Structure 1
Amino acid sequence: MERQASVSYKGWMFRLAHLSDVHLGPLPDVTYRELVSKRMVGYVNWHRNRRRVLTEGVLGAIVADMQASQPDHLAVTGDLVNLALDAEIELARIWLETLGKPGDVSVVPGNHDAYVPGAFDKTCRVWGPWMTGDGASPPTDRKGFPYMRVRGQVALIGVSTARATAPFMASGFFREDQSHRLGRMLDDAAKRGLFRVVMLHHPPVRGAVPQHKRLFGIGTFQATMQKHGAELVLHGHSHLPTLYWIGGRGRPVPVVGAAAAGQSPGDSKPAAQYNLLDISGEVGAWAIRLTRRGLTGAAMPPSDLMSIDLTPEARLVERT
């Protein structure tokens, strides 16, 4: 596929691809000791539900199509694994290597990547190269977030909302300490005239997911956007291709979700998709075009599902 220059303004364009909720399978062998925890619930859920609808072949088709679109960078917004088993975390590292060099792929963890106590820190150690800010050391725990990378005229800022929770809960957390660090990064990027992309797993919008999956700290996150501003927010978690708008510093901020990248057709949730975001322009006149590509049937290759301008002046109601 030839790269489509759907947006080209002020002489440059940056193409950002966005994947989420990969849930790599199949599950490796699990010991009884590993299941004496919340993992027992997830293990049963995998075999009853996710094993049928999250498939390697579907994910492979999505990744191949995405790579053919020649993105400048890839954002992966969490839930690479299912139960955060050591073998799963290592498998995800190998999969990340197939996506691209760590400097070309930015990852934030999801709730499944921090499924049980201790898993989050292991995830940081193993996936650290894909979650490291420019000039910073790889994260070893949640204090390593947010991180910021600058690629061309785009600042990519990775926020972590992942934390181990009780069985039947999939909540996320965004606290004041991370808010302060995020605010400083947003201000720094603004002073440099950069387009600011914030990546996190849980949608920072009320009502986007059921209560047991919600983000604690939505108000804090939105207040941070209102005070410091951003140009784009990317998230996963809901397994839905959504578009919301929240208040920013002088301009509304588009909040873009993605369908699960490994989702097979025929389930209640949309089949596998990914987002392409073509970014161009300059401070005060940024241009963003969102194109969703994904499956429409079991035997169909990925295709364009919709395309929309993400500027406040072109705000439309997206129907998915």
Structure 2
Amino acid sequence: MQFSLAHLSDLHLPPPAEAMSMRDRNLKSVLAKLSWHRKRKRIYTLHPAAALLADIAAQAPDHIALTGDITNFGHPAEFVAARRYLQQIGAPHDLSVVPGNHDRTVPLPWQDSLEQWQDWMCSDAEEAVLSEGGFPFLRRRGDLAIIGVDSAILTPVFKAYGEIGMTQMHRLAELLEATGRQGLFRAVLIHHPPTMSLGGERKALRDRAALCAVLAQHGAELMISGHHHITRLDGVQGPSYRIPSFGVPAALASKARPEWAGWHLHRIERVESGWHLTSALRRYNPIRNVFEPGGEWSFRLPVRTDAMTW
């Protein structure tokens, strides 16, 4: 079995005009719009967008994962516009999405916000009972289990931390255990990384210790996240080996803040001893307006000893 998974994050799509009103009563939204006008609109543009879609098509991944921050202010018009862009990236069967903190900047009814992306954020019909609906969702593509976790919560001004919560954490443990016993390759999608990174507690996952405890007991084969706009590889301790945990650059960063745009391509192969994972960075070249190879990592991951035979 061979499978490839594309990972992109933090699109920060340029907002439509109707999202730019400065008459908000929400201070966090106003400050986010000031930040957009002051600097972010020169960093996150659609200039790399055509090159990104062309490069993804050329690499022909079997599935695409998008780990949040698709919008900037969480305005209703942004969710509608983002839905149109998601349709360009991939059909709901071929693309899985989890939200980021920018997608929950202000309190909005579900129907005015994330419902627009529901088709890309739901479990397969046959897995819905196991996942109990909502997050975490579970999608199975061959021997790949895609588990989407929601870490995006409303936060005070100048804060961008995340939290999974005990209800999700309990369901995540059950999903990891069930899919592990089935001998599947488990890829967990989350916006906030499971380990401390840039920005300290102000931007960290608040219940990362509880998440790491779940992973230490039940395991996973791959963790992928966004949030910090950098290529980053960490190891999270599993039951018998360290789980590769990848952060990825912002997919549409047309200036190096802190990196140029990029995305990751994970190639998964089932071998006699378990799994062979090859992870590659596709880095944006602004001069040529193309994405190019930018580095590669390789891992051998054993299959669970109590997994179903194959």
Q: Same fold (TM over 0.5)?
A: yes
Shift of 1:193: 1.2
Aligned in 2, Cα 1:152/1:136: closer, same or farther, shift over 3 Å? closer
Whole-Å Cα distance in 1 between the matches of residues 190 and 91 of structure 2?
Answer: 21
The residue that corresponds to 1:160 in the other structure is: 150
Equivalent residue for 2:308? none
Structure 1 runs, 4 residues or longer, greater than 4 Å off: none
Counting only pairs closer than 5 Å after superposition, residues 157-196 of structure 1 correspond to structure 2 as 157-196=147-186
**C-alpha displacement at 1:118, in angstroms?**
2.1
1:283 deviates by: 7.8
Q: Which residue of 2 aligns with 1:292?
A: 281
SS of the aligned residue for 1:184 comes to: helix
Query: Which 10-residue stretch deviates more, 111-120 or 190-199?
Result: 111-120
Does the Cα contact within 8 Å between 1:108 and 1:201 map onto a contact in 2?
yes
Aligned to 1:277: 266
Counterpart code for 2:64: L
SS, match of residue 170 in structure 2: helix
Q: What SS does the aligned partner of 2:82 have? A: helix
SS in 1 for 2:24: helix
> Partner residue of 2:293?
304
CA contact (8 A) 1:233 1:256 kept: yes
The 5 Å alignment of 1:32-181 reads: 32-34=22-24, 36-118=26-108, 122-135=112-125, 144-181=134-171
| 8 Å CA contact retained: 2:16, 2:81 | no
Deviation digits for residues 26-72 of structure 1 (CA, Å, limit 9, x no counterpart) = 44233344354310010000011110011101132122211211010
The number of residue pairs the alignment matches comes to: 298
1:297-316 CA deviation, whole Å, 9 max, x = no partner?
33342110011103369xxx
- Distance in 1, Cα, partners of 2:199 & 2:164: 16
Q: Deviations over 1:94-121 (max 9, x none)?
A: 1111111101100000000111112666
- Partner residue, 2:10: 21
The one-letter amino acid paired with 1:74 is: I
Alpha-carbon separation, structure 2, partners of 1:236 and 1:133? 21
Give ranges in structure 2 of 5+ residues lacking alignment. 303-310
Give the percent of matched residue pairs that are identical in Structure 1 and Structure 2: 35
Residue in 1 that maps onto 2:239: 249
Offset, 1:271: 0.4
Deviations 1:217-272 (A, max 9, x none): 0101100100110000000000001000010121210000100001013x341100
Query: TM-score, normalized by length of structure 1?
Result: 0.88
C-alpha spacing 1:88/1:35, structure 2 compared with 1 (3 Å):
farther
Cα displacement (A) at 1:23? 0.4
In structure 1, give the amino acid aligned to 2:65: A
Looking at structure 2, the residues matched to 171 and 121 of structure 1 have their Cα atoms a distance apart, in angstroms, of 24
Instruction: Give the deviation of 1:19 after TM superposition.
Output: 0.5
Between the aligned partners of 1:178 and 1:114, the Cα distance in structure 2 is 17
AA aligned opposite 1:211: E
RMSD of equivalent CA atoms: 2.1
AA partner of residue 127 (structure 1): W
AA in 2 matched with 1:160? D
Structure 1 residues 119 and 303, CA gap change in structure 2 (3 angstroms)? farther
Q: Which amino acid aligns with 2:279?
A: L
> 3-state DSSP class of the match of 2:209?
helix
Helix, strand or coil for the counterpart of 1:311?
strand
Question: Higher mean Cα deviation, 205-214 or 118-127?
Answer: 118-127
Q: Aligned to 1:234, which of 202, 224, 243?
A: 224
Does 251-260 or 200-209 show the bigger shift?
Answer: 200-209
Residues 136 and 159 of structure 1: CA distance in aligned 2, closer, same or farther (over 3 Å): farther
Where does 1:209-220 land on structure 2 (aligned, <5 Å)? 209-220=199-210
